[in-house]
Chain A
Amino acid sequence: MNALLSRRAPRLALGLIAPALLLAGWQWLATSGGASAVALAPLGSVAAAFVELVGNGTIFGDIVATLTRAFTGFAIGAGLGVATGTATAVWPLLNRVIAPLLNALRQVPMIGWLPLIGLWFGTGEGSELIVVCLGAFFPAMLNTHAGIANVEQRYLDVGEVFRFTTGQRFRRILLPAAMPLILTGLTQALAFAWIGTLASELLMGAGGGLGVTLQTAQVQQRLDVILVTVAITAILGFAINQIIARVRREVLRWQPASI
């Protein structure tokens, strides 16, 4: 058995059994006309929905809208987060003043802000972007702060021995030493931005995007459209993860390969 499992082909085949069973059960339920058939769309109609969405191009518009929103929000939120985290790590006084505020604010889950933001700024695209920025801000800030504040004294000693200026100290020691944690923060920030994008689109429904399509399809009871959209979400999420992992490997080439 183990010998079989260590080969690639049998493993792959085995991995396909569970999804295949799921799909078969699905198809059976959808066509058998039981109580759940109202909700279930036969596999054929899911495929048709895919063809339809790709054919008329709406899905590409959604993808572009969602990715634009996610990355714009990530850039703004994470950018501010890294800047704030750096500032609070470098100036302890500033940290004393604003850390308590930020710590209290970050206890509220990103999604908890949605109604308030809706009330303040309406339920438009601007509000959606604010939610995404907010989601990206905190992980970027916290990790950057932790990274820079915890740079080992022994490295700072070396900088002192070689008479580094403040700027050199920052650029040559603090920043590179903190880089692994900053990247972790950016990774988390992107994950939060991604979730925030879908959540805000789902809940506010403005300006198009995968979440908006999900919401509309739910109202129209179009399970086929929902499934296609969820599948695309999964693929995009996977792709984003892969890209991040690559960027991280590239930037942190100097680190010994982890186990």
Chain B
Amino acid sequence: MSAEPFPRPNVESSAPLRGELTNSDLDKSFTIGGQARPVLENINLTVRPGEFVSIVGASGCGKSTLLRLIVGLDSEYGGEIRLDGERIATTSLDRGIVFQDHRLFPWMTLEQNVELALLNTDTPKARRAAIVAEHIALVGLSGFEKAYPHQLSGGMAQRAAIARALVTEPKVLLLDEPLGALDALTRVHVQNELQRMWLAQRSTMVMVTHDVEEALYLGDRVIVMSPHPGRVRRIVEVGLPHPRDRRSPLLHRLKDEILAELTGNPAGEPANLVTFPARESR
């Protein structure tokens, strides 16, 4: 680790903030059994340059679909998605993504996997090795360059995937439940890492998650979505500076509020107790 607490690889400190993402009147539907089913309806959302936005919602609210649209893997949608004014129709090296499953190529070493992202950038070949090493260091995996993905733990693989996504220095980084498959302790650890990396790189980040606590801890704003079809239900401003303290009462209060909103239970009231129907009749 360098002396600087948050190394900022290749980012000019004077560079203007970039990566303003706008979704306007966004609609998306899938055709299932000959019928069009809306997945996303009337999404209007502007992500400011350098902002960290978390999206939470129940399964089926289309949050992953939204990310696939933004990254450009799916270009059939109604309305507009623009990055710095340019309409998104296909993938671009300006937009990176980290999937829930790390999707490192199992046939390549960690180093090769990260370097792969630079294949079609104009980064000079001579500089690539150094840039790759920097990003592997950024996610704290120095020493594992030659490891194959199956030799890494879940948390390490996910950090490697983050390094791969960051190495192209995208204007926007999309995170699709990146920590969903990790155990609770590893999760907290990688959350801290993610915050550190974001502070170091300051690119725009949009993270989809199931975990309200995680969404609040990392996000400048939290978008709460409702399902069938997916809509923006509420936008919560988290007015706390980064890096944050998990114990902050504000975070806890917001968490209760959002959970209540998502589950339909008034905050503070315990969920109904479940009874075993067979018990009495025995």
Contacts and interface: CB of A to CB of B under 8 A. Distances in A.
Touch between A and B in complex, CB under 8 Å? yes
Nearest to A168: B119
A163 B106 CA distance: 19
A140 to B, nearest CB: 20
Contacts of B106: 254-255
A155 B105 contact: yes
B91 A163 contact: yes
Given A154-B101, A162-B119, A168-B119, A254 B73 contact: no
B234 interface: no
Contacts of A161: 71-73, 91, 95-97
A175 to B, nearest CB: 9
Contacts of A254: 106-108, 148-150
**Best-buried of A162, A165, A177 by chain B (most CB within 10 Å):** A162
A52 interface: no
Interface in A108-134: none
Given A255-B150, A256-B150, A160 B105 contact: no
B73 A172 contact: no
A50 interface: no
Given A162-B117, A254-B150, A173 B105 contact: yes
A121 to B, nearest CB: 41
Nearest to B96: A161
Contact of B105 (A158, A165, A255): A158
- Contact-residue bracket for chain A: 20 to 34
Interface in B95-144: 95-97, 99, 101, 103, 105-108, 116-117, 119-120
A165 B150 contact: no
Nearest to A256: B150
Contacts of B236: none
B263 interface: no
Nearest to A175: B107
B93 interface: yes
A1 B105 CA distance: 48
Interface in A211-259: 253-256
Interface in A160-185: 160-165, 168, 172-173, 176-177, 179
Contacts of B99: 154, 157-158
Contacts of A162: 91, 93, 116-117, 119-120, 168
Contacts of A165: 120
Q: Which 8 A-B pairs have the closest CB atoms?
A: A176-B107, A256-B150, A254-B107, A163-B120, A254-B148, A160-B91, A158-B103, A162-B117
26 contacts: A154-B101, A155-B105, A157-B73, A157-B103, A158-B103, A158-B105, A160-B72, A160-B73, A161-B71, A162-B119, A162-B120, A163-B93, A165-B120, A168-B119, A172-B105, A173-B105, A176-B107, A176-B108, A177-B105, A177-B107, A179-B107, A254-B106, A254-B108, A254-B148, A254-B149, A256-B150
Interface of B: 71-73, 91-93, 95-97, 99, 101, 103, 105-108, 116-117, 119-120, 148-150, 168
Interface of A: 154-155, 157-158, 160-165, 168, 172-173, 176-177, 179, 253-256
